[in-house]
Amino acid sequence: MRRSLWQTSAVLLAVGALVGGTAATASSETYESRHGNQDQIRNVIYLLGDGMGRTHVTAGRERFYGAAGKLAMERLPYTGAVSTYAVEKGGKQPALVTDSASSATAWSSGVKTYNAALGVDSYEKRVVTLMEQAHAAGFATGNVSTAEITDATPAGQFSHALLRGCQGPVYSDAACLPKNADGSYEAKPSDATLITPIAEQIARNGTADVILGGGLARFEPDDQQALKAQGYQVLGSFGDPALPAQTAASQKVATKADLDAVKGKKVIGLFNRGNLTVERAKAGLPAGAPEKLEPTLADLTRKSISLLSGRRDAKGFVLQVEGAQIDKRSHANDADQTLGEIKAFDDAVAAAVDFAKKDGHTLVIVTADHECAGFNIIEKNSFTNAEAAAPPVNSDAGNPANNSTPARSAGANVKDPARSGGIVNGTGSQDPKNFAPATFRTPDDPAGVVDGSPQASLWLTYLSGNHTGADVPIFAYGPGGEAFAASQDNTELYTKMYRSLFRKAPHQH
């Protein structure tokens, strides 16, 4: 099934990469006059903290640098906000809370689409991506993630799928075909790429020259053969082609040592069979654990920049870098690991900015695809509504119209001891009913204050285990960075990056 799907659609991929633009075209009447230094831009580095809302940034700053400190991303001169909503199929109704796939399509291709869609619009039609356009125009390209490289955010730049779950290694209707209202599967599309496993697309379309991340289990030995035929150096091994029934056993993950040694124009390195290991968990593993050999996101960022910037045969480069585990640990409401992943992502931002400062022709953009889990900083020694016996009351004696509706008893906002046994990373951590905040010391706290104590100043909690519809922050550095110092929609990010590279507005489909 895999080969026939690819062979049917290879020409469509090649043509799509050469076709200009998307449906999102911004007005250009004053753009060149306001952003004339765009001519200085040769490289774009787009860093994405998956699930990273404004509070994630604030909490990361306070945890590691104190209230008056700043993360590397917060030191960038241009700041703004990004709206993130998606649309339902057909585009007639907004979906106010996006997933990573529809959001990735928005900044990669400039169109709103339905949740779970990658590289297609809300009518299930292919849209070209910025990375495809850059590659076809002679730029070097790179895609880096701490997730599986087939996951939604990285996949949005170099694949096209009706459903994000169509990652591979094998095809199935359940993973690759949307369902109709009656529960039946839609008919297979005429563009077979859209139901070709993402791993197979990545291994054959050559869209990214440097590919670094996780997800080795998504690939097969013939994918490695296809990559090598295109000139890629493959770190580790995708498995022995002579032992197809034993692919998993014969696969070998790449290591940091492999990464450090690699040279060349085209490289793929997959450092875990699944997602890369969160930094907090990696630190707690014994010295001989294979996960200890994984590079950090900052390592991946520095190496990819080195490989791409060394290409003298390219016009410049386009690099996307994702800190995926901020989102994944927020889904799990794990504040400790969430904070660690924010710091790991910010270290990657620092590496990118360090290069940009020396280069002088690189635009760095730092943002998120959506906020995850309603991350909140609450007052020390307070509690959340999830711990309360009843929701809080509002009583306004001067204007009864402001009173709580439905009516609630006065003093109802009290802690219910049956629902919370203490601080979640402290004495109550083993209580399954514990809804309490997680507490962390900061550099501002007195000596002796420890994580998990009531004395720790940073109290963190979550609203849910899912995404929210909140706008996300954006930070930029370098020539053209001022274009992002605005309140903007995520589709506008595509348009602005396209202009930075090509000095013109994208064409409409």
Residue 88: which of 119, 126, 124 has the closest Cα?
Answer: 124
Place of tokens 């289990």: 217
**Count of CB atoms situated within 10 Å of the CB of 232:** 21
CA distance 382 to 379: 5
SS3 94: strand
Half-sphere exposure of 464 (CA within 13 A, CB side): 8
Distances from the Cα of 374 to the Cαs of 91, 114, 369, 448, 461, in angstroms?
26, 22, 14, 30, 8
CA distance 80 to 75: 13
Please confirm whether the linkage preceding 406 is cis (ω < 30° from 0): yes
Q: Which of 100, 102, 122, 309 is catalytic?
A: 100
Whether residue 100 lies in the annotated active site: yes
Alpha carbon dihedral 157, 159, 164, 170, in 10-degree steps, equals -140
Strands 140-148, 210-214: parallel, antiparallel or unpaired by DSSP?
parallel
Give 384-388 contacts, CB < 8 A, sequence gap 24+. Answer: 384/435, 384/436, 384/437, 384/461, 385/413, 386/419, 386/420, 386/435, 386/461, 387/415, 387/416, 387/419, 387/420, 387/435, 387/436, 388/412, 388/413, 388/414, 388/415, 388/416, 388/419
Residues annotated as catalytic (active site), given as ranges: 100
